[in-house]
Structure 1
Amino acid sequence: MDLTAAHQLATGLLVEHGLSDWRVEYDAAKRRAGVCRFATRTIGLSAPLTMLHDEAMVRDTVLHEIAHALVGPAHGHDATWARTARAIGCSAERCVPADAPRVAAPWLGVCPAGHTVDRHRRPERVLVCRRCSGGTFDLRHLFTWTHHGRPAAHHPNYVAELAALREGRRVSRLGVGSRARIIVPGEYHHAAGTVLKRGRTCYHLRVGRVVLRVPFAGVEPV
């Protein structure tokens, strides 16, 4: 659906259901079509998915989120939410249909048996095929990754974790307040600091008066 038309549709539905003080925003989400942000009174829509979905699916997504806004954050997808969703014309399904158009993920993992998984971000953790490993973690069923169909460099955290697993070492993350030394080449090589925050892929490390973002694999405990 055209983004301008979808925005007009969503805004009109908000007004229709007494939520004229709410607004509609687009984001870059790839796996979820919509979100209800109570703190900012915002209905968020995935721009990539909205462009792939037809008007009926976009309408259902918007009504899904409007139902959340009407019943409040305490209800999630419970019976109260479902009743409200159906009452305003929503399907009350928790997710879009399995056969709905999807944004193609650039990263593809293939196990030795040919099973696949995809990711929108470069993998930073080692992943094995659950179908082949029977619920255990077995490196014999390791996924091999390509980016847009071509081999690509792995994230430093992935490389370090895989090396540790192959050597039988346990991989652990430092907690906030831990002391760490930077081991990657550069201006701060060998500098020691304190972990202020642990992000998705890196530590926020205070070294003197500066705060550096260093990949997990780029430090060692002091």
Structure 2
Amino acid sequence: MNLEKVRNTAIRLMRQHGLTDYTFKWDKAVRRFGSCNGRTKVITLSRPMTQHETNERRVINTILHEIAHGLDFRNRGYSNHDAEWKRLAKSIGCSGERCSSGSGVDKSQFMKWIASCPNCEKKVYYARKTKVDKACGSCCKKHNNNRYTSKYKFNWELNPKVVKYR
């Protein structure tokens, strides 16, 4: 998506809903799309996720989601995803749902690690390499009665699209 257009939309929506004392910033998050800090009055969106998002409505919904947190914080001094927040979110045009990581973003473009199954060759993208062994859930389920086995333990490699080798 066009970052300047998204930034302008975010600022316009923040003003429209009365968050004139809030600022908008980009961040480098890869595990969440947006955030709202009611104490510092800052709403952020993930630059890498926004750049690779293809669904404009999802971006606008995320902006509205974070604005709802700002309004909720102003009203109550805290914010979470309870019924009060959900009512407020829906009243400003947000879906009222917690945003999911299952968006239309191609994570291969910005996640640092690739975990590959030695059996089915499925690739899963991660921001960080896990400290504990992980195995392919599909293969463990299909071939080992849904139980972990090192036979399907992921092989880890740095993502060449993200990590530039010298």
Tell me whether 1:82 sits opposite 2:89 in the alignment: no
What is residue 50 of structure 1 aligned with on the other side?
A: 50
Query: Larger helix proportion, structure 1 or 2?
Result: 2
For the pair 1:109 / 2:115, whether they are aligned, the reply is yes
Q: Go from structure 1 to structure 2 and tell me whether the alpha carbon gap of 1:78 and 1:124 turns closer, same or farther (over 3 Å shift).
A: same
- Structure 2 CA distance for aligned equivalents of residues 13 and 137 of structure 1: 47
Secondary structure, aligned partner of 1:50: helix
Q: Residue in 1 aligned with 2:39?
A: 39
**Equivalences, count:** 149
| TM-score for both structures, normalised by structure 2 | 0.75
Would the aligned equivalents of 1:31 and 1:102 in 2 still touch at CA under 8 Å? no
Deviation, 1:76, is 1.3
Which structure carries more strand by proportion?
1
Is 1:60 the counterpart of 2:66? The answer is: no
Deviation at 1:108, TM superposition (A): 1.8
RMSD: 2.4
TM-score (norm 1): 0.58
Change over 3 Å in CA distance of 1:134–1:31 after alignment to 2: farther
Deviations 1:149-180 (A, max 9, x none): 7xxxxxxxxxxxxxxxxxxxxxxxxxxxxxxx
Superposition deviation, residue 140 in structure 1 = 2.8
Instruction: Note closer, same or farther for the CA distance 1:145–1:90 as it changes in structure 2 (3 Å cut).
Output: same
Structure 2 letter corresponding to 1:113? N
Q: Give the partner amino acid of 1:140.
A: K
Determine if the alignment matches structure 1 residue 19 to structure 2 residue 19. yes
Identity of aligned residues (%): 35
**CA deviation profile, 1:167-204 (whole Å, cap 9, x unmatched):** xxxxxxxxxxxxxxxxxxxxxxxxxxxxxxxxxxxxxx
Which ranges of structure 2 fall in alignment gaps of 5 or more residues?
Answer: 161-166
Q: What is the DSSP-based 3-state SS (H/G/I as helix, E as strand, rest coil) of the residue aligned with 1:146?
A: strand
Comparing 95-104 with 74-83, greater Cα deviation is found at 95-104
Deviation of 1:14 (Å): 1.1
Question: Which residue pairs with 1:127 in the alignment?
Answer: 134
Q: 2: CA distance between counterparts of 1:148 and 1:18?
A: 42
Partner of 2:164: none
Residue range with higher mean Cα deviation, 31-40 or 21-30: 31-40
Q: Which residue of 1 aligns with 2:30?
A: 30
Which of structures 1 and 2 has the bigger CA Rg? 1
Looking at structure 2, the residues matched to 100 and 9 of structure 1 have their Cα atoms a distance apart, in angstroms, of 20
Q: Is the 8 A contact 2:72 2:85 kept in 1?
A: yes
Gap runs ≥5 in structure 1: 150-222
Question: Which digits, 9 at most, give the CA deviation of each residue in 1:75-106, with x for residues without a partner?
Answer: 41111111111110111221158352233234
